[in-house]
Structures are given as structure tokens and as C-alpha cells.
Structure 1
Amino acid sequence: MSIFSNSHSRESSLGRLAPLKAVLFDVDGTLCDSDPLHYYAFREMLQEIGYNNGVPIDEEFFVRNIAGRHSEDTAKILFPDWDHEKAMKFVDNKEAMFRRLVSKQLKPIEGLHKLCKWVKDRGLKRAAVTNAPRPNAELMISMLGLTDFFDAAVIGSECQRAKPFPDPYLKALEELNVSVEHTFIFEDSASGIKAGVAAGMPVVGLTTRNPERSLTEAGATFLINDYEDPKLWLALEELDRVGRC
């Protein structure tokens, strides 16, 4: 359990954002539990080409080297000796396999639609901010029924630098015309949390698949299991209360 998970002061730190103007969401692992699909696609395709002497990668390898990373970074880590075009072709083929899996099986994080209603009822601006390729992001958002929910979708590869750099989150602020003083973020990876913190915003970390310690060390304000977590609703109630004062 995170050392901050029961810290009321950490949760209450969202209160300083009142009046809240916007909420930013990562996509993979934050809106939906998509990492198992990414893991399956990478494991199958890497084994097919004899990667790691044909021994399938395990989840620890996936979390350490792949989860939350931009496609370019993943290609460099997996295939340091391949030329760029060949490595990116493999990653592109993997993403196509992932989209086929998504079209058949994708589940929202528990409580997602309850949270989205809370955001919408308060008229808050919202953006999806992700390192996923745009076709992946748009498909997942559509499958979750959130196409009309988001005001913007910011893609890491379309920015000067992807996460863990702050550029995608800074671009989201610009597109929504809001400031760091009245915005916070939901993220599930250390890379994404680092990006949000570097952009100057509090980040609520979801313990969907990644180790809690890595999320805390990356700078998460506090951690939640999902969007039904009482810690989250305590913080949101505090935001409402401060906003009414």
C-alpha cells in the first residue's frame, strides 16, 4: 500500500485547485484496463520472431520496458540493433493486432462512467492525453462510449516530445484554454505521472497494473484502485466544498 494512500492531507491538496476548471485523462490503463491486451499482442508477436531466444516475455518485462512508453521509445528498447524503419514496422503491426483485440474485448475501469458524470455535471473541460497512436486512442474512446465526452484528444507523437516530457499535458491546457492552477490529471503509469508533474499539475495515480511504489516515486499526489475508491470521492467532495466557499 502506498505511504500516501491514507493521507488526508495529500487528498485534500486537490482542494487548492478550486474552482476546478478541467480534468485530464490518460487513456491506456486509466480509462480502460488495456494493458493485458498490449501485453498479449507483444508477447505473441515477439515470440513469433524468436525474441529472447523464443522465450515469451513476462509481465515484469512488459511493465519495465513497454507499458506507458511512446512507440518510438519502445522500438528503441526492444530492437536497439534494428534500423528504425524495421523496428517501427514491427510496432505498427503490433498496434494493428491490439486494435483487433480491442474491438472484441475492452472493459472500462470500475466507476469510470460515474466519474465522467461527475465531471460533466459540473461543466468541467476535459481532454484525453495519451502516448497511444491516434487510431488506438480514438478506437478505445469510441468503444467506451466517450467520443462526445472529451473536448480534445492530445497524442504524444503529435507533440514535440511525448510523455514522460510535459509537452502533451501542456498542449492539452492550451487547447482547453485552462491553467495548471485549476486542473488535475488521472494517470496509471510512472511515465505519465512524471509528465503531469513536470507540467505543474497534481496527478491522481491509478494502480491498474503498475507497481504502487513506482507511481508514488514518480510524484503521484495520491493513489486509487479505481474510480469507486473512497479516497477519490473524499478528494472530490473536498473540491466541491472549497469551491462553494
Structure 2
Amino acid sequence: MLRALIFDFDGLILDTETPEVHAWQEMYAAYGQELDFAWVAYQIGRGAEQIVERPVDKLANLVPSLDKEAVEGDYRARRMSAILAEPIRPGVERLLAEAKAAGIRLCVASSSRHEWVDTHLSRLGLFDFFEFTCCADDVERAKPFPDLYLLALEKLGLDASEAMALEDSPNGSQAALDAGLMVVAVPNEVTRYLDLSHATAQFASMEEVTVEGLRELRG
């Protein structure tokens, strides 16, 4: 029986990932360089400690005279401006309300930190839908390791067979699978180009996801 849904945040509830990629593409282009999409895609959904090389460091290797501090400041301003203009992804609010009405418990498992996740959920008016949020500062290893999902299950007091995860990236999906969860993948503009074939099911939009459909998948 489906008793809980565990949501990713970045890229699933709010598309923070597409603005991030676009901002770095703009920064690279400003220095006559091209951002390697495959390299960036590999990082999506990973915790900060799991990222081997930051985009600014990679750019600095290509442009030795780069002022990394100035570039990072410009990047952060571009990214945040775009993120604040992003709406909640279509179908998210409807699914949250539908699940809540059906008595299904809701929580978040994110590779970002509480300050980021909780602030945005509050700003968007979604924070109160969730019992709690599990974030990178709650575990030693963020995604693609399963620790965040295992913590969420522990706090819910449920077995993995009683819950499902909703994700947008291969790294996040793998983390959920390794925690024993079924995973529904709903990619965004960036992650739709990535291989999500290991997910239990994949939908083009959260507008296609319903509680009834998730219950049928869960069995």
C-alpha cells in the first residue's frame, strides 16, 4: 500500500537546474568557451561533496587569467534572477493537494541544504504540504548515495515498499533505487536528455502523475 511520497526538490518541484546550466553556458560563452553539456549533466542531482570539479574551476583551466571570484559572483546573480522568475513546475501543486487529501504522507529528500530548500518551499507556499525535509546537511553522503532516502524512510517509520520517490535526474533516481524505493522520474528541460531508463516509470510532466496512477504502480 502506498503510504508516502518522497519528493526531490531541485529540478522536480522547482526547476533550478535549467537556470543553473543556462547561467554557466552564458559565462563560458562570455570567455569564448563552450560548456560541455555531458559533463554538466553528470553532476545534476549530486550533493556538493560529490562534485569532482566545479564549472568555475573547469573554466579557469581553459582561461588561466580568469577572476574566479568575479565569475562566480556574476554566475550566482544570473542564476538567482532566473530561478526567482521560475514558476512551480506544472502539476506539482495539484499532486501535492491530491496526495494530502488521500491521506498520503509527504516529505522531501534533497541534495541541497536546508537553507536553500526550506526557503524556496516557504517562498512558493509549499512548505506546509510536507511533514519534513531531509537535506544535504542531515547526512554525510548526499545523492547518488541512498542516505537521504534512507533517512526519510526512517523518519516516516515506513518500509520502502510503502513509499515511492519522485525524481528528475539519474543521480537522484539511483539514490532512491538503492534505498529500495520505486522511482517515478519526471525530467525537466535539461534532464530530459539524460538516461532515466532505470526508473520504475517516467512521465513528461507532473501533470500526468496522479495518486491513482501511483497506487497502481506501487501495487
Of 141, 144, 151, the match for 2:121: 141
Pairing of 1:23-102 with structure 2 (within 5 A)? 23-45=5-27, 54-57=32-35, 59-64=37-42, 66-74=43-51, 76=53, 78=55, 79=57, 98-102=79-83
* 1:214 match: 195
- Matched residue SS, 2:202: strand
The answer on 1:202 being equivalent to 2:182 is yes
Q: Matched residues in 1 for 2:128 and 2:147: separation?
A: 24
Q: Matched residues in 2 for 1:237 and 1:179: separation?
A: 16
The answer on 1:159 being equivalent to 2:139 is yes
After TM superposition, the score normalised by the length of structure 1 is 0.72
Q: Matched residues in 2 for 1:111 and 1:215: separation?
A: 20
> Which segment drifts farther, 194-203 or 147-156?
147-156
**Closer/same/farther in 2, CA of residues 102 and 212 from structure 1, 3 Å limit:** closer
Deviation of 1:137 after TM superposition, in Å, equals: 1.3
Q: Matched residues in 1 for 2:151 and 2:195: separation?
A: 25
Q: What is the root-mean-square deviation of aligned Cα atoms in Å? A: 3.2
Q: Matched residues in 2 for 1:165 and 1:92: separation?
A: 30
In structure 2, give the amino acid aligned to 1:190.
P
* 1:193 match: 173
Question: Residues 25 and 129 of structure 1 are in contact (CA less than 8 Å); yes or no, is this contact kept in structure 2?
Answer: yes
Residues 163-190 of structure 1: per-residue CA shift (max 9 Å, x gap):
0000011111112222212000000100
Q: Matched residues in 2 for 1:150 and 1:179: separation?
A: 18
Deviation of 1:110 after TM superposition, in Å, equals: 1.4
Question: Residues 70 and 157 of structure 1 are in contact (CA less than 8 Å); yes or no, is this contact kept in structure 2?
Answer: no
Q: Which runs of 5+ in 1 are unaligned?
A: 1-17
- Matched residue SS, 2:207: coil
Q: Matched residues in 2 for 1:214 and 1:172: separation?
A: 25
Q: Matched residues in 1 for 2:161 and 2:69: separation?
A: 38
- Matched residue SS, 2:129: coil
* 1:181 match: 161
* 1:123 match: 103
Residues 128-167 of structure 1: per-residue CA shift (max 9 Å, x gap):
1111232221233123311111111111243121100000
Deviation of 1:123 after TM superposition, in Å, equals: 2.1
In structure 2, give the amino acid aligned to 1:102.
I
**Closer/same/farther in 2, CA of residues 205 and 76 from structure 1, 3 Å limit:** same
Q: Which runs of 5+ in 2 are unaligned?
A: 62-67
**Closer/same/farther in 2, CA of residues 129 and 220 from structure 1, 3 Å limit:** same
The number of aligned residues is 211
* 1:21 match: 3
> Which segment drifts farther, 139-148 or 114-123?
139-148
* 1:235 match: 213
Deviation of 1:211 after TM superposition, in Å, equals: 4.1
Q: Matched residues in 1 for 2:20 and 2:183: separation?
A: 24
